[in-house]
Amino acid sequence: MSPPRAKQFPSHLKVFKSPIWDWLFLYNIYLGSMKKLNSPWRIISTAVYGAPNEGKIYGYLEVDVTSAWEMIVASRAAGKRITMTHLVAAAVGRAIGWDIPEMNAFVKRGTLVQRGEVIVTVSVNMHGGKEMTSVKLYDAHKKTVFEIADEIRNRVAKARSGDENDTMDNKFFLAKIPWPFRRMAFLLFRFITNTLGIQIKSMGLGHNAFGSILLSNIGSHGLSTGWAALFPGSKLPAVLVMGKEEDKAVVRDGKIVIRKILPLTGTFDHRIMDGYHGGMLAHHIKRYLENADLLAEAPVELKEEALKS
């Protein structure tokens, strides 16, 4: 009995019989699927991040924002639209501007340097959450929550029309650099700006490129909590992340009541901040958000400054 004949490879597919053609065919399929995944930010991140090897500390806080939500509802009824993000940005600005100014600093050539400005940077979703931009709130510690809300809305409208700030524009610049050279370019920029302490203002790479602190709201995506990365080269002492506010049963005056709770997480540069500063930041953010009416008026400290001058 003759042995069974080997199965013949279809003649119209013989071109793929070579391992090289098989590999190229599969690689083209792979590239097509990867294009959908690789946004400009994801392309840049492959150059920006290496293995974690630097000191970071983390913190978690739950804040009772029941009264803050009552203020939001009342303000909207009066024609002044504010959100929880606006309130938190105002609270953070006042905390680092008036209460913990020592955390408003950056490292330059191995030395801590105090910033001359208080800048709260707020990450904002664009294009249905597919892209992000940022709004830098200068002198955030001197502004009311209503002024902050108006400023964010105006800046976001400009960004959506294509008017990005220089720092955010750089993500598109870096994304166009071929992969083998992308990380080298980032490391070169980081060496110039971080290690040598030289600003490249034409590219938006200065000491305040990302502000004094960064605030991001992942609650708008339905997430309860999340932990942010400290962007290498940003010179940020901290990144704060807002989660989704939820009704929770808590104990108040010995009774179980339902309150609206906002989760906040923080990632901190241990060279600038330690547990003391994290605790102070948590204390003052809670103080402002649990007494949100304070954020509707000019800071008391600003009035005292005006009186002195």
pLDDT digit string (tens) for 95-116? 999 999 999 998 888 788 899 9
Return the axis-axis angle of helices 166-175 and 40-48, rounded to nearest 10°. Answer: 80
Q: Is residue 113 part of a domain?
A: yes
Contact 106, 214 (CB under 8 A): no
Q: How far apart are CA 292 and CA 38, in angstroms?
A: 40
> CB 19: neighbour CB atoms within 10 A?
8
155 located within any domain: yes
3-state secondary structure of 136: strand
Q: Is residue 20 part of a domain?
A: no
Domain count, the chain: 1
In a domain, 42, yes or no: no
Say if 238 falls within a structural domain: yes
Give percent above pLDDT 90 in the chain.
Answer: 48
Q: What are 8-37's pLDDT values in tens digits?
A: 545 444 444 556 656 666 666 655 555 555
- Whether residue 71 is contained in a domain is answered as yes
Domain that holds residue 287: 55-164+204-308
Residue ranges with strand state E in 20-118: 56-64, 105-108, 111-114
**Nearest residue to 38 (alpha-carbon basis) of 176, 157, 165:** 176
Q: Are 265 and 58 spatial neighbours (Cβ–Cβ below 8 Å)? A: yes
The answer to whether residue 189 is domain-embedded is: no
Q: What is the pLDDT of residue 44?
A: 66
- The angle at the Cα of 283, spanning 282 to 289, to the nearest 5 degrees, equals 85
Q: How far is CA 181 from the centre of its chain?
A: 26
**Domain CATH for 108:** 3.30.559.10
User: DSSP secondary structure string, 195-232?
Assistant: IS---BGGGTBSTTTT-SEEEEE-GGGT-S-------T
Report the distance separating Cα 262 and Cα 121, nearest Å.
20
Residue 16 DSSP SS3: helix
Average of per-residue pLDDT across 210-221: 94
The answer to whether residue 299 sits within a structural domain is yes
Task: Quick: pLDDT tens for 248-265.
Answer: 999 999 999 999 999 999
Q: Give residue 179's identity as a one-letter amino acid code.
A: W
Query: Do the Cβ atoms of 182 and 47 come closer than 8 Å?
Result: yes
Whether the per-residue pLDDT at 284 is higher than 70: the answer is yes
- The answer to whether residues 93 and 120 touch, using CB atoms and an 8 Å cutoff, is yes
Contact (Cβ atoms closer than 8 angstroms) between residue 193 and residue 233: yes
Spatial separation of the C-alpha atoms in residues 286 and 307, rounded to whole Å: 28
**Helix intervals (H) in 176-274:** 179-190
Helix (H) or strand (E) holding 287: helix 275-290
